[in-house]
Amino acid sequence: MDIQRFRAEFPITRSKIFLNHAAVSPLPLRSADAMRSYVENKVKAQLTHDVDLGDWRKKIAETKGLFARLIGAREDEIAHIPNTTFGLNLIAQMLDYKPGSNVVTNTLEYISNVIVWLKLRERGVEVRIVRDVGGRISVDMLEKSIDDRTVAVAVGQVGWYNGFRHDLRAISEIAHERGAFLAVDGIQAVGNMKIDVAREGIDFLACGSYKWLLGPLGAGFLYIKSEHIDRFNPPILGGGSIDPEVSRRNIYERFDLYELKYSKGIGKYEAAHINDVAYIGVGESMRLLLDYGVENVEERIKRIGDYFISSLIEMGYELQTPLGEDEHHAIINFKVKDPDAVMDYLSRNGVVVSKRVGGIRVSPHFYNTEEEIEKFLSILKGIR
């Protein structure tokens, strides 16, 4: 497929080598255009009361189906939420805990996926944090902490600073055997690899919009496996969480008659109004990814990453990314003596990356090219 057609969606490629999709990604032109025209139509509708926004509303609703396709879920298993962190909080707070319950997380997680679980200590839940060794955590290491009092095992599919890739299928088998759920932070994976929630045995997955999904900020998604949707209730409520009949009565009748009766289906997890403009944008970005094909995206990211890794090794850099087969994806981190000085030098030379945990984190997407990596490597050679 012609990659130039896709690169044209990202004007930043004309002036910079942008390898920072694990941070905040550039917005494709088509997403920005769609957001602009939606806002223009919305303003017109507000001024004249004579513009039908029905098609746009349909587009916003369709984003659930698009996200569902990216993770192998059903549309009615997807809720709109603002961001990953919101989703992780929701999952942690809605599960049932008894005296003696525990949850398992680990040291490779982004801070959100640790502290939302730490908060449960206030409810007497034991929080087990499995320590990584050299940037990796094997299934065996996690298994030792999971027992029949474990309520949830929390992992990110791809690690935020070094790209370590958990074997979710193996983890979910162990978790389920012991009666625990698998809760996944998906933001560093959805959009850069094929995910299949059924095959991996994922019970819950939260994902923001602005990294590998190439969307704007504020248009996240929460996957809840269908059989869990009615079994649990959201810890955060608003008009959307309540049965529409009861909601109407609650508004028009006396306060002392107010009732709490949850609405059916995934909608009860969407307490309040969403950021409509942002969902218009992320919808177009997901269409772009699906247009190229998520398997093709994954394959290209792997190829670019492999080339980059072997060149770094040849140049004598120490990698913080585990290098075993299927142990890493999309994010590569190499150590440098003075990260600030390296970042400064790279930025002066038009390279956009991040410094993380004493190294430089590089995160190319499918529209990056081997030529860009070559150029980046030759700039890097200028440092030594």
What is the binding site for ligand PLP (CB under 6 A)? 83-85, 110, 112, 156, 160, 185, 187-188, 208, 220
Which CB sits closer to ligand PLP, 180 or 205?
A: 205
Least separation in angstroms between CB 206 and ligand PLP? 8
Which CB sits closer to ligand PLP, 201 or 220?
A: 220
Least separation in angstroms between CB 112 and ligand PLP? 5
Which CB sits closer to ligand PLP, 31 or 101?
A: 31
How is 95-111 classified by DSSP, letter by letter? Answer: S---TT-EEEEETTS-T
Please list the alpha-helical segments (H only) found in the chain.
3-7, 29-48, 54-71, 84-94, 112-118, 139-143, 168-177, 197-200, 226-229, 244-252, 276-292, 294-314, 339-348, 370-381
Least separation in angstroms between CB 161 and ligand PLP? 8
Name the DSSP letter for residue 12: G
Which CB sits closer to ligand PLP, 135 or 156?
A: 156
How is 186-244 classified by DSSP, letter by letter? Answer: -TTTBTTB---HHHHT-SEEEE-SSSTT---SS-EEEEE-HHHHTTS--SS--GGGB-H
Position 52: which residue type?
D
Which CB sits closer to ligand PLP, 59 or 166?
A: 166
Least separation in angstroms between CB 81 and ligand PLP? 9
Which CB sits closer to ligand PLP, 6 or 269?
A: 269
Least separation in angstroms between CB 159 and ligand PLP? 7
Task: Give the integer Cα–Cα distance in Å for 132 and 65.
Answer: 36
Least separation in angstroms between CB 169 and ligand PLP? 20
Question: Which residue is nearest to ligand PLP, using beta carbons?
Answer: 208
How many Cβ atoms from other residues are within 10 Å of residue 209's Cβ? 31
